[in-house]
């Protein structure tokens, strides 16, 4: 059974036909590369799979089950992690806060939850080290280079145990050394049985 299957997915934005009859299957442990010219519809496809857009036509199946995502949270709950082309980071927050955005770690003092910054900084540092990135967990994203921002967006996908990781041009802004690390990361995801697209 495919982890993800698209059946004849189309997307129109008013008069623009961004996607027309896209069908594909991704199996566990598969790496699938999608190529297309600027404006071909790659980002639109990623946004449909990740719950940002509903398709105009067609069907999406996750683990063989027909699925409709009305927002990105629903897709994330089904184990779909995304690195968006525009990275979708909050510029005013630290690298660690962006990595943990929406799934912050808390510790409990009696019945009161307190954000566990120590644990989040430590885990974020671990993820950046794994990516061989110079990004520091306490740095504010606004002051970061393109490559550091990309590392933050990629590190975010490593928090959960996803079923599939979608990466929209994830190496566009990073250094040659980091490209090798991201490709290595994609292979490691595959070895864990997680497909990447």
Ligand X SMILES: Nc1ncnc2c1ncn2[C@@H]1O[C@H](COP(=O)(O)OP(=O)(O)OP(=O)(O)O)[C@@H](O)[C@H]1O
Judged by beta carbon, residue 40 or residue 115, the one nearer ligand X is 40
Residue 21 binds ligand X (CB under 6 A): no
Q: Which residues in 95-134 contact ligand X (CB under 6 A)?
A: none
Least Å from the CB of residue 129 to Mg ion: 29
The residue range among 19-27, 77-85, 106-114, 179-187 that interacts with Mg ion, by the rule CB under 5 A, is 77-85
Residue 105: half-sphere exposure toward Cβ, Cα within 13 Å: 14
Least Å from the CB of residue 2 to Mg ion: 24
Judged by CB under 5 A, the number of residues near Mg ion is 3
Among ligand X, Mg ion, none, residue 118 binds (CB under 5-8 Å by kind): none
Q: How far apart are the first and last CA of the chain?
A: 17
Q: Please give the full DSSP string across 38-102, using - where no structure is assigned.
A: TTSSHHHHHHHHTTSS--SEEEEEETTEEE--SSHHHHHHTTEEEE-TT----TTSBHHHHHTTT
To 10 degrees, what angle do helices 146-156 and 176-191 make? 10
Letters for 117-156 (x = contact with Mg ion by CB under 5 A, - = none) are: ----------------------------------------
Contacts of 40 (CB under 8 A, 6+ apart): none
Least Å from the CB of residue 53 to ligand X: 7
Letters for 79-98 (x = contact with ligand X by CB under 6 A, - = none) are: ------x-------------
CA separation (Å) from 123 to 48, 118, 119, 135, 179?
30, 9, 6, 13, 22
The residue ranges that bind ligand X (CB under 6 A) are 13, 16, 18, 36, 38-44, 85
């Amino acid at each position: 059974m495919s982890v993800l299957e698209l059946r004849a997915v189309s997307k129109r934005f008013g008069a623009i036909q961004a996607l027309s009859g896209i069908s594909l299957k991704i199996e566990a442990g598969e790496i699938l590369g999608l190529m297309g010219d600027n404006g071909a519809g790659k980002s639109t496809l990623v946004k449909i799979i990740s719950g940002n857009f509903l398709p105009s036509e067609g069907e999406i199946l996750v683990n063989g089950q027909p699925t409709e995502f009305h927002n990105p949270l629903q897709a994330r709950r089904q184990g779909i992690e995304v690195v968006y082309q525009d990275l979708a980071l909050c510029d005013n927050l630290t690298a660690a806060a962006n990595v943990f955005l929406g799934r912050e770690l808390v510790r409990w003092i009696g019945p009161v939850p307190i954000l566990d910054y120590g644990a989040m900084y430590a885990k974020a540092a671990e993820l950046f080290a794994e990516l061989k990135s110079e990004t520091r967990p306490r740095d504010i994203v606004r002051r970061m280079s393109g490559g550091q921002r990309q590392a933050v967006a990629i590190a975010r996908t490593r928090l959960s145990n996803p079923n599939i990781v979608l990466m929209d041009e994830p190496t566009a802004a990073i250094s040659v050394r980091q490209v090798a690390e991201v490709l290595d990361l994609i292979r490691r995801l595959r070895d864990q049985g997680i497909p990447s697209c």
